[in-house]
């Protein structure tokens, strides 16, 4: 695995917007081991190359915002996908926010059920450990 094999945030945003326009659901697979975009070893091998990995929170919040947030454009999706600060995201029992954009939990649930339907990760431990470290689990 090398960093150049990861799609760009621009490509992912374009894909999400196209899926939304076409009313096509998607499942994200491979490489989404961490909740927030950040640099990590690309494999489990000692001395593995490092690279920036997309975060699954970034991807799924971007998808839901594309679908539901008023005024949320492809350019905003790119910025959200590039977000590395976990504090830029807000979570309450009623809503999820990123910067000046917010959606309610019913909209988030609708996106999860019929648009951004799931993701695959090679690891169960990495995502759960990271979510615990962020106090989200």
pLDDT in tens, 56-101: 999 999 999 999 999 999 999 999 999 999 999 999 999 999 999 9
Nearest residue to 119 via CA among 35, 10, 6: 35
pLDDT above 90: percentage of residues in the chain: 78
Within a domain: 135: no
Range of the domain at 7: 3-127
| Site of tokens 């990760």 | 121
Within a domain: 132: no
**Total number of domains in the chain:** 1
Q: Which residues, 6+ apart, have CB-to-CB distance to 134 below 8 Å?
A: 35, 36, 86
Within a domain: 102: yes
The CA distance from 31 to 53, in Å, is: 7
- Mean pLDDT across the stretch 24-39? 91
Residue 135, classed as helix, strand or coil, is: coil
Q: Cα-atom radius of gyration of the chain, to the nearest Å?
A: 15
Within a domain: 39: yes
Within a domain: 121: yes
- Can you give the pTM of this predicted structure? 0.93
Kindly state the tokens that stand for 79. Answer: 């910025």
Within a domain: 133: no
């Amino acid at each position: 695995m090398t960093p150049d094999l990861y799609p760009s945030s621009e490509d992912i945003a374009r894909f999400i917007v196209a899926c939304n326009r076409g009313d096509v659901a998607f499942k994200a697979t491979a490489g989404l081991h961490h909740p927030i975009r950040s640099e990590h070893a690309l494999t489990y091998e000692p001395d593995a190359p490092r690279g920036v990995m997309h975060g699954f929170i970034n991807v799924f919040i971007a998808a839901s915002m594309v679908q539901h947030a008023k005024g949320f454009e492809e350019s905003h999706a790119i910025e959200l996908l590039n977000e590395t600060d976990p504090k830029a995201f807000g979570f309450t029992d009623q809503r999820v926010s990123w910067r000046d954009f917010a959606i309610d939990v019913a909209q988030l649930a609708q996106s999860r059920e019929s648009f951004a339907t799931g993701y695959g990760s090679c690891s169960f431990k990495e995502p759960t450990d990271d979510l615990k470290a962020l106090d989200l689990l």
